[in-house]
């Protein structure tokens, strides 16, 4: 229903309405709940450029905004609310006082109305269906300290357009398109967990509960083990074999459609790799299977489409353990 009361029908709904979303939600929270409290400040001596500051149980971000003053946003644990009987202003002022975001705090500065919003990270477990898709923050939200939000939203909108195209134009490929989108969100969650673990862990307050609890996600996330090369380097006559446990079939963006493709799981990288130097993995895998030595593989790659990239592709496959010797 539109704001003026009109009701419109559609075969497919894209929910891009941000954190609140339009559709029912099935959110899986990622890590502890975080709340953001913000207000606009005025007065002498406020920073004239963006600033970030950390305290033991909070962090804060601030920037001057034309005509509104200096926006100072405090991020703290959602559990801070009941402890202080929901007095947002007091939590906000106490939290900021634990950081050096604002100079001369409480003297010449004036603080406007304090507003709260949720800033927790989550993943919606029903982000795509036969007649709907959620994009951007309607589907997934990240911890703001990771600064991944806008980048993720743009990427998710780009892949959602291909997913919707596939669902509507190739009904037989609906399942593979939905699987692609769901796996993409899971991989973003993985990237996010690793990023937040690293960022929170670098803080001087990393041992304090607020910071420590936000480091926990990355460690719990399963990773594909890397196979760093050790011992002598392979030469042309070195016998090789394909590590079949690294070869998987995954749904993949191929032009305007999602299609199943062979891919390799490449060491510590989160994403299965379906193309190497523009060559599909499903052309590279037979070359590996038919080759007995490194030299055979190089020749097979050159005979295929790899040309001058054959050396690099071969080195990449060996370094990541897809090709063993
Ligand atoms: C406090 C805070 C700090 C953040 N800091 C960063 C940061 O530093 N870097 C970063 O990359 N990300 C940051 N993020 C995350 C980032 O803001 C979001 O990831 C991003 O804005 C989400 O984009 P979106 O398009 O999905 O949603 P939104 O930006 O929320 O856009 C949704 C739009 O849909 C409109 N809308 C809602 N309902 C309807 C409806 N029924 N009909 C029509 N339109 C509707 C809304 O008005 C809005 O314009 C932060 C988030 C928070 C909460």
Residues 170-180: pLDDT tens digits?
999 999 999 99
> 204-211: which pairs have CB atoms within 8 A and are 24 or more residues apart?
204/54, 205/54, 205/55, 205/56, 208/56, 208/57, 209/57, 210/56, 210/57, 210/58, 210/76, 210/77
Give domain status of residue 65, yes or no: yes
* Structural domain range at position 157: 13-29+121-220
Nearest alpha-carbon partner for 91 in 46, 58, 69: 58
Residues 215 and 265 in one domain: no
User: How many alpha carbons fall within 13 Å on the CB side of residue 212?
Assistant: 3
Nearest CA to ligand 1 atom 51: 144
Is 106 a residue whose pLDDT tops 80?
no
Give domain status of residue 225, yes or no: no
Is 219 a residue whose pLDDT tops 80?
no
Where does the pLDDT of residue 80 fall: very low under 50, low under 70, confident under 90, or very high at 90 and above? confident
Alpha carbon 173 to its chain centroid, in Å, reads 25
Probe residue for ligand 1, chosen from 144, 185, 199 as the CB with the greatest number of ligand atoms within 8 Å: 144
Give the ligand 1 atom nearest the CA of 22: 41
What is the arithmetic mean of pLDDT over 191-202? Answer: 88
Helix or strand run (H / E) with residue 284: helix 281-289
Residues 128 and 213 in one domain: yes
CA of 224 to the centre of ligand 1 (A): 32
**Structural domains of the chain, count:** 3
What is the arithmetic mean of pLDDT over 253-273? Answer: 84
Give the ligand 1 atom nearest the CA of 137: 26
pLDDT digits (tens, 9 = 90+) for 135-153: 999 999 999 988 888 988 9
Q: Specify the pLDDT at position 85.
A: 64
Q: Report the alpha-carbon distance of residue 46 to residue 43 in Å, rounded.
A: 7
Give the ligand 1 atom nearest the CA of 136: 26
Q: pLDDT: is 52 or 109 the higher one?
A: 52
Across the chain, what does the average pLDDT equal? 88
Give domain status of residue 8, yes or no: no
Residues 164 and 280 in one domain: no
Give domain status of residue 236, yes or no: no
Q: Which residues line ligand 1 (CB under 6 A)?
A: 16-19, 22, 36, 73, 117, 119, 136-138, 144, 147, 149-151, 153
Where does the pLDDT of residue 225 fall: very low under 50, low under 70, confident under 90, or very high at 90 and above? very low
* Domain end among 118, 146, 172: 118
Q: pLDDT: is 279 or 74 the higher one?
A: 74
CA of 277 to the centre of ligand 1 (A): 35
- What φ, ψ does residue 141 adopt, rounded to 5°? -130, 150
Give domain status of residue 232, yes or no: no
Q: Is residue 277 helix, strand or coil?
A: coil
CA of 89 to the centre of ligand 1 (A): 24
Where does the pLDDT of residue 131 fall: very low under 50, low under 70, confident under 90, or very high at 90 and above? very high
Q: Specify the pLDDT at position 277.
A: 85
Residues 178 and 308 in one domain: no
Quote the radius of gyration of the chain (alpha carbons, Å): 25
Enumerate residues 6+ apart whose C-beta is below 8 A from 105: 96, 97
Q: Say if residue 148 is exposed, middle or buried (CB neighbours under 10 Å; 0-12, 13-18, 19+).
A: buried
Residues 20 and 143 in one domain: yes
pLDDT digits (tens, 9 = 90+) for 34-69: 999 999 999 888 889 999 999 999 999 999 999 999
β-strand 34-42 against 110-111: which pairing, if any?
Answer: antiparallel
Q: Specify the pLDDT at position 87.
A: 86
What is the arithmetic mean of pLDDT over 223-245? Answer: 77
Residues 209 and 245 in one domain: no
32-46, 217-231, 293-307: the lowest-pLDDT one: 217-231
CA of 141 to the centre of ligand 1 (A): 10
Give domain status of residue 5, yes or no: no
Probe residue for ligand 1, chosen from 6, 143, 150 as the CB with the greatest number of ligand atoms within 8 Å: 150
CA of 284 to the centre of ligand 1 (A): 41
Where does the pLDDT of residue 226 fall: very low under 50, low under 70, confident under 90, or very high at 90 and above? very low
Give domain status of residue 79, yes or no: yes
**Whats the size of the chain, residue-wise?**
325
Taking phi over 0 as left and psi of -120 to 50 as alpha, with beta for the rest, 249 belongs to beta
Probe residue for ligand 1, chosen from 52, 71, 153 as the CB with the greatest number of ligand atoms within 8 Å: 153
Q: Specify the pLDDT at position 86.
A: 65
Is 227 a residue whose pLDDT tops 90?
no
Tokens of 302: 């050159």
Residues 111 and 164 in one domain: no
Q: Report the alpha-carbon distance of residue 144 to residue 35 in Å, rounded.
A: 10
């Amino acid at each position: 229903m539109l704001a003026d009361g009109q009701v419109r029908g559609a075969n497919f709904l894209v929910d891009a309405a941000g954190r609140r979303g339009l559709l029912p939600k099935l959110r899986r929270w990622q890590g502890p709940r975080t709340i953001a409290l913000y207000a606009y400040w005025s007065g002498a001596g406020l920073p004239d450029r963006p600033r970030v500051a950390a305290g033991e149980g909070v962090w804060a971000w601030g920037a001057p905004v034309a005509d509104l003053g200096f926006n100072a946003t405090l991020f703290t644990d959602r559990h801070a609310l009941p402890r202080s009987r929901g007095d947002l202003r007091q939590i906000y002022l106490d939290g900021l006082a634990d950081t050096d975001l604002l100079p001369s705090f409480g003297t010449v500065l004036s603080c406007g109305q304090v507003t709260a919003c949720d800033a927790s990270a989550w993943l919606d477990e029903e982000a795509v269906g036969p007649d709907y898709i959620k994009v951007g923050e309607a589907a997934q939200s990240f911890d703001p300290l990771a600064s991944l939000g806008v980048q993720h939203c743009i990427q998710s909108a780009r892949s959602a357009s291909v997913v919707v195209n596939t669902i509507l134009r190739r009904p037989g490929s609906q399942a593979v398109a939905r699987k692609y989108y769901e796996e993409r969100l899971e991989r973003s969650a993985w990237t996010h967990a690793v990023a937040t673990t690293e960022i929170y862990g670098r803080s001087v307050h990393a041992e304090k509960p607020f910071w420590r609890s936000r480091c926990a996600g990355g460690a719990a996330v399963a990773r594909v083990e890397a196979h760093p090369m050790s011992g002598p380097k392979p030469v042309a006559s070195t016998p090789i074999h394909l590590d079949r446990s690294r070869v998987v079939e995954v749904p993949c963006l191929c032009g305007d459609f999602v299609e199943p493709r062979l891919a390799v799981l490449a060491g510590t990288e989160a994403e299965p790799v379906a193309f190497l130097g523009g060559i599909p993995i499903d052309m590279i895998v037979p070359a590996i299977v038919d080759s007995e030595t490194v030299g055979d593989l190089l020749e097979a790659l050159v005979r295929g489409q790899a040309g001058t990239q054959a050396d690099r592709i071969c080195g990449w496959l060996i370094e990541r353990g897809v090709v063993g010797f």
